[in-house]
Structure 1
């Protein structure tokens, strides 16, 4: 389901899910930086590892 489709959903929990997912992703990045560990994400269908150093650089940009 796309973000634009979520905004038109009838279930309020479904609408709020996108905000919750973004909040969880932000917390995961913060934790990875604090513990100096990488995170693994799927970007454009490809499994990618992002190091804590890369996360720090992205945060500063």
Structure 2
């Protein structure tokens, strides 16, 4: 589902799921930086390993 489709969903849990996923991703980034570990993400339809140092440099936090 796209973000637009989610906003039109009748199920309130489904509507809130996108925000929950974004919060979980942010917490995973913070934990990776705190523990010096990498995370695995999808970027441009490719699986990418991102180090804690790269996360710091991206400045997403």
Q: Deviations over 1:32-54 (max 9, x none)?
A: 00000010011121010111001
Identify which of structures 1 and 2 has the higher relative contact order when contacts are C-alpha pairs closer than 8 Å and 6+ apart.
Answer: 2
Aligned-residue Cα RMSD (Å) equals: 1.4
Aligned length: 61
Deviation at 1:28, TM superposition (A): 0.0
**Residue in 2 that maps onto 1:9:** 9
In the alignment, the residues of structure 1 paired with residue 60 and residue 48 of structure 2 have an alpha-carbon distance, to the nearest angstrom, of: 20
TM normalised by structure 1 equals 0.93
**Residue in 2 that maps onto 1:19:** 19
* SS of aligned partner of 1:10: coil
TM normalised by structure 2 equals 0.93
Q: Where do 4+ consecutive residues of structure 1 move more than 3 Å?
A: none
Instruction: Point out where structure 2 has 5 or more consecutive residues left out of the alignment.
Output: none
Deviation at 1:20, TM superposition (A): 0.2
